[in-house]
Amino acid sequence: MRWSWLGSPRRPSCPCTRRSAAPPPARCATGPRTAASARSRTRSSTRPCPRSAPGTCPASSDCCRGEGRAPPPRADRRRVPSPSGGAGRGAPLLFAVPDHGHNEPVPRIPIAVAALAAAVVVGAVPAQAAPAGDVGTRIINGSEAPSGAWPSATFLSFTFNGASYFACSGSLIAPRVVLTAAHCVVKNGELANAARSTARPGVISNADNSTRQVWSAAVPHPAYDEDSRTNDVALVTLPVAATAPAATIPLIAPWQDGAVGGGASAAIAGWGRTVNGGAISETLRQATVPLVSDADCAHIWGGNFAAESMVCADTSAGIDTCQGDSGGPLALTIADTRTLVGDTSWGAATCASGTPGVYGRISAFRGWILDGGTPANLLVRDYVAAQNAEAQNLALTSTGPDVTVTWGVTPANWTTTGFRVTVNGSAETVTGPEAAHTVTLPDGGPVSALVEPQVTLGTATAASITATPTPTRAPVVSATLPAQPEAGAELTATAASDDPWGGAIAYQWLLDGADIPGATAAAYRPTAAQAGRLLSLRIAAANAAGTGSATVRAGRVLQAPRVRAGRVPVRGRAVVGGRLTAAAPSATGYPRPRVTYRFARNGRVVQTGRAGVYRVRERDRGALITGTATWTNSAGTVVRKLTAVRIAR
């Protein structure tokens, strides 16, 4: 945390300093310096410590006796300009910055800063003036928030004893209620002094008094634990409803809870310093951080992290909330709406050190926020009860047989637990975190959908739509062919499209890559003249999103061997020692036919092979030599007989 005070203009007599040449007065109190005390603010003392040697501080027992408060942690003390402006005019405002040499959990509580308005004077800070308070660190490595970016962001200034002012951030969740961290309104069991504390909802500059109001009351969570920081949430009520530019931010609804998980991109905002120990900012800062899973956060923080009431964000990229951002928003964009999922709570003393920052988990506090029974809770409850959760902006899209129904919902009623979605008579309850539901309707045609929000408070209005779904992409088409094409044989393609709302499938046969005129049906009969040429099929289907097409290679057109009719003549000397040659004619076909011969003696096969020559042997005397010629390719076979020859005796 950041210790701070508005001090006396006297030169300090107890220079507990590390960097300042002219240190401010030390604020001391009795009591041990424990981790617990380091995580909580203490009120400032108005008495300086006794004098001591330069560069040293007396023991706490030697100063400020009887105060009953723990001493502040080690600090670098810096001088900032006085409210009156120029150097040397007016008394300086003094603030302390803790030593960041350790990494124990500390709350994101602000540091004391220079006056935000000239009305602030040292030693007498009127309740109606812009406070000199504890603005704390602004977002580390963030950017200045543009006007209107965070209409719910609220700058809170508060005091416990009237002598020191502190500041936190908060979020307007109802016109008269600001959600912040409990450690911003409770210190050592004492509530902040509401009558001397102010809120500025919807401002960018914390010096902007246009929306300033004095608090009516501050209500911490009844189970808030100052030591463990569990249930670190509180409600601050305002006397009148905030008006523009302020606007409320919806809390995360039950149906959206699944969106809060490791890797989700969250937005953070707050007022304070940009670097550890650096200058404070008068303007709201913002940044984006990824969430860390509960398991990973527990692995790092151990028992300090309670997943039931805390959520973590990654700081390894050097982006983090820091002291002074306490109570500020951690928000996700869900269903196109910025939604409050956490409030800045605590983290490592050195901000953006790579150790996850820890936030209160808003979903764990919904029940108390609505049903806590205090006037603050009732204000929130009445506000939400007046809200209508209205389903809106229904749309139907198709990626094929799957039809997706999407919708929006007015965000102010954040008690929505889910949606009852009825598509073509079939109902199902959707709990998110997406405002979408997908069903499979393979038959295509018009779709009727009804979306009914389910709420626990307030009212709900259903919405319906009947339409032919709008495809989000072109169809995907495919085709298969039963066999390689063959001349004279009909080839029929089987084609399909995955979009039931697409148009009819168009066919175009191609020969060697060129369209075959008139060949636009699913079936095609190649001709003999096309033998050996490459046959392909192109198919296409279109819908409102575009045209899907595919080309299927059928292969080269086959043709069975073709040989002129008649016997194959055999020539030669039909005597022992002579040769007989089969004069096989050439054959056509694709692939090129291969011819083989078979010779038989008196009906018994004696020779086969590609050779068409038969040598007459002694045993062939007087025998009848017959045979066949066979032409073969992948498309078929043709057989012709050889002319018979009688061998002389």
Of 44, 164, 169, 326, which one is the catalytic site residue?
Answer: 326
Neighbours of 458 (CB within 10 A): 19
Q: What is the structure's pLDDT at 558?
A: 94
Same domain, 415 and 450: yes
Neighbours of 371 (CB within 10 A): 12
Q: For tokens 């800070």, name the residue.
A: 125
Domain presence at residue 376: no
> Do β-strands 645-646 and 624-633 pair in parallel, antiparallel, or remain unpaired?
antiparallel
Residue 158's contacts (CB-CB under 8 Å, 6 or more residues apart) are 133, 165, 166, 167, 168, 184, 185, 192, 193, 196, 197, 198, 215, 218
pLDDT tens for each residue of 430-462: 998 889 999 988 777 789 999 999 999 999 999
Domain presence at residue 28: no
Domain presence at residue 63: yes
Neighbours of 87 (CB within 10 A): 8
Residue 29 CA to residue 62 CA, distance in Å, equals 9
437 counts as catalytic: no
Find the Cα–Cα–Cα–Cα dihedral 599, 603, 606, 612, rounded to 10°.
Answer: 0
Residue 534 CA to residue 527 CA, distance in Å, equals 12
> Do β-strands 166-174 and 153-158 pair in parallel, antiparallel, or remain unpaired?
antiparallel
pLDDT tens for each residue of 180-230: 999 999 999 999 999 999 999 999 999 999 999 999 999 999 999 999 999
pLDDT tens for each residue of 487-507: 999 999 999 988 877 678 999
Q: What is the mean pLDDT of the chain?
A: 79
Tokens of 515: 């369209």
Q: What is the structure's pLDDT at 323?
A: 79
Q: What is the structure's pLDDT at 503?
A: 76
Report CA torsion sign: 251, 257, 259, 262. Answer: positive
Residue 411 CA to residue 387 CA, distance in Å, equals 9
Report CA torsion sign: 508, 513, 516, 522. Answer: negative
Q: Is the pLDDT of residue 96 over 80?
A: no
Q: Which of 21-35, 279-293, 356-370 has the lowest mean pLDDT?
A: 21-35
Same domain, 143 and 244: yes
State the pLDDT confidence band at 17, using cuts at 50, 70 and 90.
very low
Q: Is the pLDDT of residue 286 over 90?
A: yes
Residue 480 burial (C-beta neighbours within 10 Å; 0-12, 13-18, 19+): exposed
Question: Considering 525, 557, 589, which residue would you say is the last residue of a domain?
Answer: 557
What is the Cα Rg of the chain in Å? 44
Same domain, 359 and 406: no
Cα→Cα distances 380→214, 330, 371, 372, 414, Å: 19, 19, 9, 10, 11
User: Do residues 163 and 46 make contact, with C-beta atoms less than 8 angstroms apart?
Assistant: yes
Q: Is the pLDDT of residue 32 over 50?
A: no
Residue 247 CA to residue 152 CA, distance in Å, equals 5
User: Do residues 81 and 41 make contact, with C-beta atoms less than 8 angstroms apart?
Assistant: no
State the pLDDT confidence band at 282, using cuts at 50, 70 and 90.
confident
What b/e string do you get for 617-638 counting C-beta neighbours within 10 Å, with b at 16 or more?
Answer: eeebeebebbbbbbbbbebeeb
Reduced to 3 states (helix: H, G, I; strand: E, B; else coil), residue 425 is: coil
* Strand ranges across the sheet with 213-214: 213-214, 198-201, 153-158, 166-174, 177-180, 234-237, 217-220
User: Do residues 78 and 97 make contact, with C-beta atoms less than 8 angstroms apart?
Assistant: yes
Tokens of 427: 């109902």
Alpha helix segments (H runs only) across 286-374: 294-301, 366-371
Q: What is the structure's pLDDT at 278?
A: 67
pLDDT tens for each residue of 244-259: 999 999 999 999 999 9
Domain presence at residue 375: no
User: Do residues 297 and 84 make contact, with C-beta atoms less than 8 angstroms apart?
Assistant: no
Q: Is the peptide bond before 375 cis (omega within 30 degrees of 0)?
A: no
Q: What is the domain extent for residue 532? A: 477-557
Same domain, 451 and 509: no
Domain presence at residue 167: yes
Domain presence at residue 24: no
Same domain, 513 and 623: no
- C-alpha angle 495/496/497, rounded to 5°? 140
Find the Cα–Cα–Cα–Cα dihedral 356, 357, 358, 363, rounded to 10°.
Answer: -90
Of 82, 197, 228, 232, which one is the catalytic site residue?
Answer: 232
pLDDT tens for each residue of 288-316: 999 999 999 999 999 999 999 999 999 99
Q: What is the structure's pLDDT at 163?
A: 64
Reduced to 3 states (helix: H, G, I; strand: E, B; else coil), residue 505 is: coil
Same domain, 210 and 239: yes
Tokens of 383: 């506000």
Question: Considering 557, 577, 599, which residue would you say is the last residue of a domain?
Answer: 557
Reduced to 3 states (helix: H, G, I; strand: E, B; else coil), residue 210 is: coil
Q: Is the pLDDT of residue 581 over 50?
A: yes
Residue 30 burial (C-beta neighbours within 10 Å; 0-12, 13-18, 19+): middle
Rounded to a whole number, what is the largest CA-CA distance in the chain?
Answer: 149
Same domain, 177 and 271: yes
Q: Which of 568, 551, 566 is nearest to 477 (CA)?
A: 551
Same domain, 415 and 427: yes
Q: What's the whole-model pTM score?
A: 0.62
What b/e string do you get for 387-412 counting C-beta neighbours within 10 Å, with b at 16 or more?
Answer: bebbbeebebbbbbeebbbbbbbbbb
Q: Is the pLDDT of residue 469 over 90?
A: no
Tokens of 554: 């059928």
User: For the domain that residue 461 is a member of, what is the CATH number?
Assistant: 2.60.40.10
pLDDT tens for each residue of 135-177: 233 478 899 999 999 999 999 999 987 667 888 999 999 999 9
Of 60, 152, 164, 183, which one is the catalytic site residue?
Answer: 183
Please report, rounded to a whole number, the percentage of residues in the chain having pLDDT higher than 70: 78
* DSSP label at residue 134: B
User: Do residues 157 and 123 make contact, with C-beta atoms less than 8 angstroms apart?
Assistant: no
- C-alpha angle 161/164/170, rounded to 5°? 95
Q: Is the pLDDT of residue 41 over 70?
A: no
User: For the domain that residue 489 is a member of, what is the CATH number?
Assistant: 2.60.40.2700
Q: What is the structure's pLDDT at 44?
A: 31
353 counts as catalytic: no
Question: Considering 557, 581, 613, which residue would you say is the last residue of a domain?
Answer: 557
Residue 358 CA to residue 329 CA, distance in Å, equals 12
Same domain, 545 and 638: no
Residue 131's contacts (CB-CB under 8 Å, 6 or more residues apart) are 116, 120, 125, 157, 159, 165, 167, 198
Q: For tokens 């997908």, name the residue.
A: 438
Q: What is the structure's pLDDT at 433?
A: 85
Domain count, the chain: 4
Domain presence at residue 370: no
Same domain, 459 and 586: no
Same domain, 245 and 349: yes
Same domain, 454 and 532: no
Domain presence at residue 29: no
Q: What is the structure's pLDDT at 13?
A: 31
Cα→Cα distances 265→145, 198, 259, 341, 408, Å: 17, 32, 10, 12, 20
User: For the domain that residue 84 is a member of, what is the CATH number?
Assistant: 2.40.10.10
Q: What is the structure's pLDDT at 130?
A: 25
The backbone torsions φ and ψ at residue 340, rounded to the nearest 5 degrees and listed phi first, read -80, 120
Q: Which is more confident, 80 or 154? A: 154
